[in-house]
A and B are shown apart, each in its own frame.
Chain A
């Protein structure tokens, strides 16, 4: 598929113009393939649904066949072989016999009191009848049960038994549907015959299966219900004697009849629907493939007419279901109620499916458009990056090299043009999606919106960014609405297409997660691999980032994303979900960043305020550790960044929390805080000035100094030529020492201001006097010394070039 797609791509790229609108190549390609894929998926889904519906019907039929088998329950309803009934009934009967004496007393009293309804004349005949009948209730009950069983079994065992006849008809119809699909005629697709037949079969199978399953459960329950009713029958017959207890008899009788005939109604409709179908068809519901032709043809109309007629069995089955469900047999209503709930659930699901299918039809074009746009943009962007990164023939001389350079330049320009074309300019759309994403509360909506946005890069990024900003993304991830791969992809796109705000938002959100940051760094490297040197990253850092003092991607992310209190709160929330060791590591990293000048007092203050004791303790431990190693640690510049970290000592000295916790600085430092801080600031200033602005201005006086030294050395080396210069030599040596130490001190501690004063050798002595011991001690260890050495070397070289043109 990949190769074929590539061929198509190049074909359309040539046809439409490679550098014009290459996106169309993919668009056209996917326009052809996506509908076919959609139809295949739809057909596969429909086939699967038909299969499942047949399976359901078959299982239901098997269950009802099993339940209605004569040997299913081997014990009878009323006979003594059923020990439960036997013992239960005997006990109830004996107990009821005891009650007869009580009834005789009641009748006697009622007669004496002239309560007409209870008088002997009315109640004695009933009493005698019941006293006799009570010993034969199983026979009475058995007769009624047998009658109902005969009726029900007649209906259920007709034909091949159960619902087998109808299943045969349905299977034949399914075969016709399959052969219609195999002998594919596009007209059947568009005139709706295939869809109609598939829907009809699925509906028939599910409704019939449901009704059969309902019967099976009811019949199973019927056994137990009738046993209980037979056991209670002596008591029920006894209740018939007195008017006051007659309602109990009525209730029993009603339940007994209901339970006996509960299955008859349903069985009758199953039978009826089978008889109707069997006799009205030639064994199948649908016309054969050859008979179906275009829309509006007489054959199709016949097909629809027949289908309407055959919907009668379906309706009959439904009536059977409703009849059964409307029974008021005690216990049966629980089953019917559950069945009703299942039906409603099924209706809900079917409705939902129908709605989503309809939505799917409506949105069918969107994914195609989105995927085309997304995929094409990504592919073209890869090409663009390669073109922008073209630097052939850089070091190659001659015509060939020149030709290569011209070619590379041309490619780079074309890449830039494509880049402008490619970058989704619709920042407003992304911002809108971000706002939408912020409002999404639940995973379902988020998932749905992401599916809708599939392929629309700006919208995808926007939705995720919204979830990042609302802080819900991790919840959505946990709930499975989005996975890390999708987030990585969105991050990649945000880097690729220059959505800087989004990239920052991603970094910020995951700033506490080292694993994700490592992945993001490698994505940055991948995306920028073919870009220009300035834009290219290594371990997520550009050259500019390195110059800023970042030594890892985490440095960059934390330094650029942690500014306000909320940023630290989000970070703390993220860290609280991580293992304690990881949390500790990140807090140590933050303190480390403060030492390297990447964090200021505001950030450390926020961190302390938000993370409290945990962070302050990390900060305090590090402070004591550093001061134990070197009491001037905080007043020396950071070796990598050249930045002052004196503020940390001041923070420790002036922050009320630090004071309350008794965090102490060495006495020398705490007494000379301002002085040391001033040295440190000057040193930082000097280094900055050296590196950025003043190298040339510093080079001149230093070059002069070097010249003087060289002259002195030259004279020293030529003692024979200048034998009287030994005194001068010593002087020069002394001067040299003075020059170097004062220059170090001046440059490192007084910066440019001092260096401007180094105009002649006479002034140097004054400068030296002005320096105190503490400054020199500090200066010797400062990184400014290295800068001075570099400049001295550079100026020496420059002077030499001037001396020997």
Chain B
């Protein structure tokens, strides 16, 4: 079978000494990041981006991918033991995981979270290997109208699934598209919004923006709180292995969570957070004893943890085959690929099979490492959580400064990052989400390129987006998703707070 041959080739790439090392580094850093609240995979990947410039593209993406799914593992540890979700995707695990820990069953909760994540990750990697080739073949037929419509759909999904105000999410997307246009027009060569600045004439780079909006803004938000004492941790647990009964109750949620997470992760705007919440809702809904949820039901840990890890893997499918990131973390990975001169898309598998299959199989290797790493090191992760933030924040800022400076040895990039840091801090205060902005910033050049090419093809007619079937389906879906949440605004009834 092609799939088996591809996987065999992938393992030959992933199992080299260098790639194993970077995979290990990625999952280790990812787990650490997942354990520590406040520094998510997006901020971490942006901090690591400059460090990957000196690696080959395959090793770089293997490491960054490891950070992403590693963070999913790490987040569950503190969710269960101390009810502090290290990651947004692990919030729902707090509900039942922490209750289990309080009942003296923290070990089985941790164990089932780790094993469930491993099973989900393994199945998702296989799913990725099976789904990616036909999707890539399908995507070969994509032209500028299809890409524009797909990005429009992605924007619609991102706003529809925004956790805060949808109107504000749309504003952030518009702002991101504008920021993406700063620099030099790629067709005419005219400077746009750079006003003579050499730094801006190259465009606003992804790294200073992300480091500012996530890294600096996070520090500012956390530092303004009063001095915190180190958290008191009294997490104790005995055996990490679930009982036979635990397995019996968890197998169904694990497999359901895996499938649900895989498909949700394929959608632009989809990701681990949505997958974990959706899985919890499904398990509670179909359970014969829904009243147990929130009181220590192991299904409330098994399902969401499997779903978030599965989604973290399937997020790579639209990125690698279509070149469209599913969420902000994937947008950063896309940025990393482009910085390395690799353009993901339908031809990636043919032009760079080593990178594609190497990354896919490294995810399985990474899952094995995580299973072996997490269970014995749980005590260490819990201790790390006790480090006061006042010790961590200078190191975070230092990484931001060095990371940004290392791009072009340009001190103005530090100023730019600081400016976005202020912006990010204010956006958080005013409840604007930064993720849609980053998403749009990364996709803006592709959006503009596709739109302008499509209009040139059609000599100015927008019909081209509707007469091509794939483009029509994508665009109409995007328009419907865009309109649906906004329609209630124009109705004469009470508006709910989500808008």
Do A and B truly interact? no
Contacts from B to A (Cβ < 8 Å): none
